[in-house]
Structure 1
C-alpha cells in the first residue's frame, strides 16, 4: 500500500546546538524528534516507532564544500546532519531510497540555516509517496447464530395436567381420611349401676365403661370372662 513520508532534519550549527530545522508539516509539536533521532553508532540508518508513526533516519557528515567553509562548530566538532522521514501509515518498504531523497532536501535546508543561525526558524516539510508494508488485520470469527429457543408447552395441556394432579391429590386425601377413620376404636359403653370400679388393676378379666364422663375399669363376673 502507499503511504506518506514526511521529511525532517535535526542538526547543529557552528554556534547553535542541535535542534529541529525541518519538521513534518502535520505536527503541532516536534519535541519527540530530538528525543528519538539521536546520533548513530556506525549504523547506516535506524527506525523507531513513535506515537505519530515510524521514524526513520540516517547521518550525513557535512563536507567543506557543503558547509561553504570549515565543517566544524566553534568547539571543533564535525557538523553532522540527522535527516530522515516520519511515516504515519506504518513500516516503509523502500527506506534507503527515501533517505537518499531526504538527504538532498536536508542539505538545502541546512545551508539556509548556516547562512543565518540566529534568525533561522524551523521549516515545515511536505510529504512524498512511499510504499508501506500492510499490517495484518486480526481475523474475527464469523457471527454465530444464537441457539433456537425450546418449544414452549401448550397452555391447555399445562392446565389439563394440573387438573389431573389436583384430582389425584383429592382422591389420595379422601382415601387417607377414610383409612384413618376405620382405625378408630369405639368408645366404651356407659357403666351400669352394679359396676364397681377397681381400686387396683387386675392382670386379667378387666373391662371398661364410662361413668360421669370418666372411663373406669371393673372386673367381669366369672361367667362373662
Structure 2
C-alpha cells in the first residue's frame, strides 16, 4: 500500500500563507517551501485538486489537496476569533503527499485523515505564529489507488550516460590512432650489400651560365657564310 503524508499550507491571524505541515523528507532537506509555492488557493466548495510537485533538490511527488474554512470547533474554543487581523475568514489548504506513481480522485477517508492532523498542527501554529517552525507529518497508508508509472531518468542517470558515451568515444578514437599507419613513417634502411641495389648517383644539371652558343662562321670567318 502506498504511503502518504499530510500537508498543510495556512495563513494565521497576522502571518501570510506558508507551509505549516510537510512530509519528513521535505523537512529534513529544508525544501518544504515548495508546498506554499505550488498549492493554489481553492474555495471551500471546490473539488480536491491533484498536482505534481518538484522540489529544488530534484525530489518529485504528488499532492492531493482541498480548502477548509477554520471553525471555532477546530480551535477548541468557542470564543477564539476565526478571522485574521483584516477581518478575513481563516482558511487553509490541507491534503496529503505521496511519492510513488499517479492517482486519480483522492478517497475521502484519506482527506479526512489528513484534515485531522492538519487541524492539530494549525492550533500549534496559531499559538505562536512568529516563532513557529514547520512540523513533520506522520506517514499513513493511503486508500486512494495509485498507479505506479516508470519514471524518466533523472539528472544523475543522464549524467552517467553522457560520461559513459564520452568514454566509449575516446576509446574508439585511441584505437583508430593505433591501427592506422602514420604518414610520417619511413621504410627501414637496407644494410645487406648482397641484396640492396647499388646506390644511384643524383643527377646534376648543368648551370646555364656554362652553356655557350656556337655560331657557325662563313668562309671569311666574320659571320654566316654568304651564298
TM class by shorter-chain length?
0.5 to 0.7
- Cα 1:127–1:70 change in 2 (3 A) is same
Structure 2 SS opposite 1:49: strand
Match in the other structure for 2:51 = 48
Equivalent residues of 1:85, 1:102 under 8 A apart: yes
Structure 2 SS opposite 1:54: strand
CA deviation after TM superposition for structure 1 residue 4, in Å = 1.1
Distance in 2 of aligned mates of 1:111 and 1:31 = 20
**Structure of larger gyration radius:** 1
What is the root-mean-square deviation of aligned Cα atoms in Å?
Answer: 2.0
CA deviation after TM superposition for structure 1 residue 137, in Å = 5.9
Unmatched 5+ residue regions in structure 2?
55-59, 152-227
Distance in 2 of aligned mates of 1:116 and 1:31 = 19
Equivalent residues of 1:92, 1:130 under 8 A apart: no
Unmatched 5+ residue regions in structure 1?
139-225
Distance in 1 of aligned mates of 2:50 and 2:148 = 17
Distance in 2 of aligned mates of 1:100 and 1:48 = 19
Distance in 1 of aligned mates of 2:150 and 2:66 = 30
Aligned residues: 137
1:15-30 alignment runs, 5 A limit:
15-27=14-26, 28=29, 29-30=31-32
Compute the TM-score of the two structures, normalised by the length of structure 2.
0.56
1:37-116 alignment runs, 5 A limit:
37-41=39-43, 42-51=45-54, 52-67=60-75, 68=77, 69-92=80-103, 94-116=106-128
Higher strand share: 1
Match in the other structure for 1:171 = none
Compute the TM-score of the two structures, normalised by the length of structure 1.
0.56
- Cα 1:129–1:120 change in 2 (3 A) is same
CA deviation after TM superposition for structure 1 residue 116, in Å = 1.4
Distance in 2 of aligned mates of 1:76 and 1:87 = 35
